[in-house]
Structure 1
């Protein structure tokens, strides 16, 4: 089935969003230099503390973000969430690493809420575990490996996290993963199974999101200066994940209409054409 002109335009926009530079690259550009040196200067044990805090923040953010949104389709509000994120970042950046870790659940919830808002705007049901998993997947984008993957495959490699999480849980969920189709996962799982699946998915996504947050912390860990940087970086983060969410849920919406294989083939064709320019 050929895509309509509007759907093709939507997919082209999604490809542009999903194959753009990742967050670590954008952070380095904003700061004006690579962040590897700043990361090495973080206190001993900082990365471990950050990774633990990231997983906890993601777990809390899913419930808090979805609870705070009603489930009626409406256009996403990009500006409001960026204002919330900026205020949160200014507070978290003012007092160094300890306050940054304390602020992380707040800023992560704001970003998760922004992502869920985009999903709702694209017509997805926020009560559906498939939609919730897709919201979590967004936070795996922008992490390590993005610059090494071929543009047309990097996005789909990231999306494989959900199926990997199911396979690693048990044979029962692996069987479900094998039968998984567009929009069918939720109907095949009990609420308990869905909860385990989402928990495992969060664990895997946190590994990638933690690397990005470590770079963010390194950029804003200096007191006072960090207050200004924290507001700026939180706005950058929220804007980035809103873009990733829009691209991600556009692709999923089109997959529901045309089939996953058709959209993937068209996505990869458009991505290759984009790389040649």
Structure 2
């Protein structure tokens, strides 16, 4: 089904099925990012301390570097569908893990060089999840929603992910809207990627940390994509307003966190 074709076919699903699927998405949101804790145990310290390990010059450029990487990823991930076909989630996890290890071998210089490619593959993984839920990754609204997923904090953040955005089914999008979204998402993603860069600079453990953190990030953003597009699909299947579905999700996710 294309992302711009959101009509409900047949009767909406019943209330019991809607509740069960909503609860499943809440549980997925709650457990997302757990693998990142293993990475923190590996490299030591706390997530908030990682950025302090970066040189001041790198910290100052994090926002602009991330925004540039995200702009490139938004186009490259889209174009990659014509070159690399769709595949299982584990394939992306394996690829990003290997890239993280390679990036960590040479310390900060190689980690910086690896960052744009990893961002592109993560975005492609998010688009693959959209396809799993029946949306067309080439549709502008789905591409917009895929970038929005990066706004869901990050696996090393103390965040429950319930601030995930929710796009309208028939939203008219422009290039300017995408640029505005990227500028809004970039600062939050910069913190996430800054933690990743810092982890890859740990002496001796750089390659292992890079592999582990890339694996954790990939799983996290795949889970967040399942929540984002799963809620959108559930709203369609249940014949509910997407905003009402998001409010129900926020309420339940808050109860789980509490």
Q: TM-score range by the shorter chain?
A: 0.7 to 0.9
> In the alignment, which residue of structure 2 is the partner of 1:92?
103
For residue 122 of structure 1, report the CA deviation from its aligned partner: 0.4
What is residue 181 of structure 2 aligned with on the other side? 201
Q: How many residues align?
A: 242
Q: CA deviation at 1:255?
A: 2.4
- Following TM superposition, where does structure 1 have runs of at least 4 consecutive aligned residues deviating by more than 3 angstroms? 1-7, 19-32, 35-38, 143-148
- The yes-or-no answer on 1:139 pairing with 2:134 is no
Q: CA deviation at 1:24?
A: 11
Q: Does the Cα contact within 8 Å between 1:23 and 1:212 map onto a contact in 2?
A: no
- Trace 1:15-34 onto structure 2 (pairs within 5 A): 15-20=26-31, 26=37, 28=40, 31-34=43-46
Q: 1:69 is paired with a residue of what secondary structure? A: helix
Consecutive unaligned residues of structure 2, counting only runs of 5 or more, are 1-11
- What's the counterpart of residue 263 of structure 1? 245
Aligned 8 A contact 2:154 2:220 in 1? no
How far off its partner does 1:271 sit? Answer: 2.4
Kept in 1, the 8 Å contact 2:149–2:228? The answer is yes
Name the CA distance, whole Å, in 2 between partners of 1:24 and 1:185: 35
Aligned-pair Cα RMSD in Å: 2.9
Using the size of structure 1 for normalisation, the TM-score is 0.77
Q: Give the corresponding residue for 1:183.
A: 169
The alpha carbon displacement at 1:19 in A equals 4.0
Moved more, 241-250 or 119-128: 119-128
- Matched-pair contact (CA < 8 Å) for 2:32–2:223: no
Distance 1:88 1:25, change over 3 A: closer
Q: Displacement of 1:144 after TM fit?
A: 10
Which residue of structure 2 lines up, in the alignment, with residue 218 of structure 1?
198
Change (3 A) 1:142 1:28: farther
In 2, distance between residues paired with 1:261 and 1:38?
Answer: 36
Q: What does the per-residue CA deviation read over 1:8-29, in whole Å, with 9 as the maximum and x for residues that have no partner?
A: 3222121123344668974545
Q: 2:79 aligns with which of 51, 57, 67?
A: 67
Residue of structure 1 in register with 2:47 after alignment? 35
Partner of 2:56, secondary structure, is coil
Q: 1:101, CA displacement in angstroms?
A: 1.1
Separation (CA, whole Å) in 1 of partners of 2:78 and 2:145 = 13
Q: Residues 84 and 39 (structure 1 numbering): CA distance in 2 closer, same or farther, change over 3 Å?
A: same
Q: Matched residues in 1 for 2:187 and 2:13: separation? A: 38
C-alpha spacing 1:159/1:261, structure 2 compared with 1 (3 Å): closer
Structure 1, gaps ≥5 residues long:
163-181
